[in-house]
Amino acid sequence: MILSVGRTDIGRVRDANEDAFLAAPTILAVADGMGGHDAGALAAKTAIEAVRQHIKPGSRQPAREIGRAFARANRTIRKIGAREGHKHMGTTLTVATIHGDMAWIGHAGDSRAYLFRDNRLIQLTADHSLVAELVRRGQLTPDDARKHPKRNIITRAVGSDRQIKPDIFSHDLQPGDRLLLCTDGLTGPIDDSRLFDLGSSRFPGDRTADKLIKAANEAGGDDNITVVIGDVEQAEPLPGRSRAPLYALLIIVLALVVFAGISWRLNHLYYLTASSGRVTVNRGLPVEPFGLNLGRFDYRTSVRVKDLPDYYVARLKQEMVVGDKKRLDTILTDIKDLARRNR
Ligand code: MG
């Protein structure tokens, strides 16, 4: 379970808030709309609504549901944009859904998901933006990127193309972890070290969110600011996600295959003994590992043991392993010859 809280603020410069968020017990999401007039706000709301509808708590297929939510949001936003004549209507969307001890993340755009763990701040998502691409190529430092005039150009957004390809991945969770999702209104004015100082403090989520928004406004507040925080209280693996039953089944199948193989092999192995004064054919092996008898009587031949030379009788008494059927037939022919000559 996580304790989730969300805050959004218009900032100090914009005349409308085009961000939207969701802070539910197992689903966190932020969206930063664009397109001017009401289009941005509508795009962001549409994306959040798609998350609400298509991502269900406790689902067995979180990745698939995330993909579906993005696809549905993309289609709806494009439809609205075409109908209302909003050419550049779109939105970022970053969503985290909690499944036992895993967080599944879906992401498109330059909003972000962070994880605070053990006094560390880990950025889980990679920005889909022009400046982030330049940082990845080593042509820009993260600090320069935050002040770059083209920092608002994003390379992937919900609603901008016919198909949306969100990043979808999972990350493990531990009790005490804090997930933080935010729009660029926070990460523009606030760098990672300041975010770490303000966000990782053990203040409750709601106070932390307020402090972060305040800090972003004090640093200029030139964009809408949205923060969603999820504090992980418990992180138990989902029941049934264990692979133990599958492994048990595999072992049973393997054991059966091995057993069938051994049985087949034993059924095609022969050894000779002397019983009731006759040379006797047996199948299997004349051994008993762990008390398990691997040999069995097959049939008694017409050859009398007393017609055979002494050395042969001695061998029969010790049980004479001969091998396969072909070898058995050869040896039986030899034995019959010997008996005839010895009679
Ligand atoms: Mg923004």
Question: What pTM did the predictor assign?
Answer: 0.71
51 CA distance to ligand 1 middle (Å): 19
Contacts of 144 (CB under 8 A, 6+ apart): 131
91 CA distance to ligand 1 middle (Å): 9
Q: Whose CA is closest to 281, among 327, 236, 214, 227?
A: 327
341 CA distance to ligand 1 middle (Å): 106
154 CA distance to ligand 1 middle (Å): 11
State the pLDDT confidence band at 242, using cuts at 50, 70 and 90.
Answer: low
Pair of tokens at residue 72? 């549905």
Lowest mean pLDDT among 69-83, 232-246, 269-283, 301-315: 232-246
182 CA distance to ligand 1 middle (Å): 9
Q: Whose CA is closest to 135, among 69, 192, 76?
A: 192
What is the 8-class DSSP label of residue 237?
P
152 CA distance to ligand 1 middle (Å): 8
229 CA distance to ligand 1 middle (Å): 18
82 CA distance to ligand 1 middle (Å): 23
147 CA distance to ligand 1 middle (Å): 14
The pLDDT tens digits of the residues spanning 11-70 come to 999 999 999 999 999 999 999 999 877 899 999 999 999 999 999 987 889 999 999 999
Mean pLDDT over residues 170-193, rounded? 95
125 CA distance to ligand 1 middle (Å): 16
d(CA 109, CA 104): 17
12 CA distance to ligand 1 middle (Å): 13
139 CA distance to ligand 1 middle (Å): 23
